[in-house]
């Protein structure tokens, strides 16, 4: 049986390495007995090495990467460097990067290709418009561009995170999606991928949900929503809450 995946997206938190170390220690303790859940922590770049050093059960993720190897790319962190830090998962195309850093579908496409070609598992974020009824076309536009050049054999390493914009906890009036609507989005995502690669290959893609996930609502997304995991922002910075999320996931898997 495939493991469910819970990814902690720390965003630009915490402010100091000591706090990152304390957080990871508590989460590691909570994850000690996990058997059916894959837990990934994605800290900010400067904390990758110190956090990674203390991980046993948990895998290390990054929050972004550049598509080139190494070279004259000021400020960029390449997949190559991430691999040297022990990173195996990378969040790509998060809506905060699209909005605040001007990331486009073309850029996201290059990053996804570079990750897949070079053995990193991309957690590709696809969003939904403020206006729910616009969702199908947004998902279609994003996935069509972003998956250009992707080979069928790579799909088993692809994770797609369905993250409605209005559900992300930092947005005003944020509220989680309903498991039923998330499930509809999941079916839609799988259908878009299947129209390109066939339904068998599309079935190998892991689809998860993100947006105001907590220990209470996780079950709905995994059961009624049929999601294969969750991308967790705010709640991943509270070690007690994140421990409950992991525990809940273990019960459901």
The residues binding ligand PGA (CB under 6 A) are: 9, 163, 168-169, 210-213, 231-235
Q: Is 163 a catalytic residue?
A: yes
From the CB of 161, what's the least distance to ligand PGA, in Å? Answer: 7
Which residues have a Cβ under 8 Å from the Cβ of 242 and sit 6 or more positions away?
8, 27, 30, 232, 235, 236
Q: Is 142 a catalytic residue?
A: no
Among 96, 103, 127, 163, the active-site one is 163
- Between 105 and 238, name the residue whose CB sits nearer to ligand PGA: 238
From the CB of 95, what's the least distance to ligand PGA, in Å? Answer: 7
From the CB of 196, what's the least distance to ligand PGA, in Å? Answer: 25
Contacts of 115-119 with C-beta under 8 Å, sequence gap 24+, read 115/65, 115/79, 115/90, 116/150, 116/151, 116/154, 116/157, 116/158, 117/154, 118/79, 118/80, 118/83, 119/83
Position closest to ligand PGA via CB: 233
- Between 126 and 202, name the residue whose CB sits nearer to ligand PGA: 126
- Between 211 and 225, name the residue whose CB sits nearer to ligand PGA: 211
Which residues have a Cβ under 8 Å from the Cβ of 252 and sit 6 or more positions away?
4, 218, 219, 222, 223
Query: How far is CA 212 from each of CA 27, 175, 251, rounded to the nearest angstrom?
Result: 19, 7, 20
Among 94, 127, 128, 248, the active-site one is 94
- Between 222 and 235, name the residue whose CB sits nearer to ligand PGA: 235
Catalytic residues: 94, 163
């Amino acid at each position: 049986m495939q493991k469910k995946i819970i990814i902690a997206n720390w965003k630009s938190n915490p402010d100091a390495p000591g706090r990152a170390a304390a957080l990871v220690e508590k989460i590691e303790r909570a994850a000690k007995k996990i058997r059916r859940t894959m837990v990934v922590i994605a800290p900010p770049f400067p904390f990758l090495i110190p956090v990674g050093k203390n991980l046993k059960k948990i895998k290390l993720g990054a929050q972004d990467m550049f598509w080139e190897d190494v070279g004259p790319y000021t400020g960029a962190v390449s997949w190559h460097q991430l691999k040297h830090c022990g990173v195996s998962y990378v969040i790509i195309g998060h809506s905060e990067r699209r909005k605040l850093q001007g990331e486009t579908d073309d850029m996201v496409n290059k990053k996804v290709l570079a990750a897949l070609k070079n053995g990193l598992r991309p957690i590709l974020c696809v969003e939904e418009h403020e206006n729910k009824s616009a969702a199908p076309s947004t998902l279609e536009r994003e996935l069509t561009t972003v998956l250009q050049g992707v080979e069928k054999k790579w799909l088993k390493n692809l994770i797609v995170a369905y993250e409605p914009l209005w559900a992300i906890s930092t947005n005003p009036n944020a509220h989680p999606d309903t498991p039923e609507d998330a499930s509809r989005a999941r079916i839609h995502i799988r259908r878009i991928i299947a129209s390109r690669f066939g339904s068998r290959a599309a079935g190998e893609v892991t689809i998860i949900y993100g947006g105001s996930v907590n220990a209470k609502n996780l079950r709905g997304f995994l059961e009624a929503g049929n999601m294969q995991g969750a991308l967790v922002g705010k709640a991943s910075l509270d070690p007690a809450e994140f421990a409950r999320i992991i525990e809940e996931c273990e019960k459901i898997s």
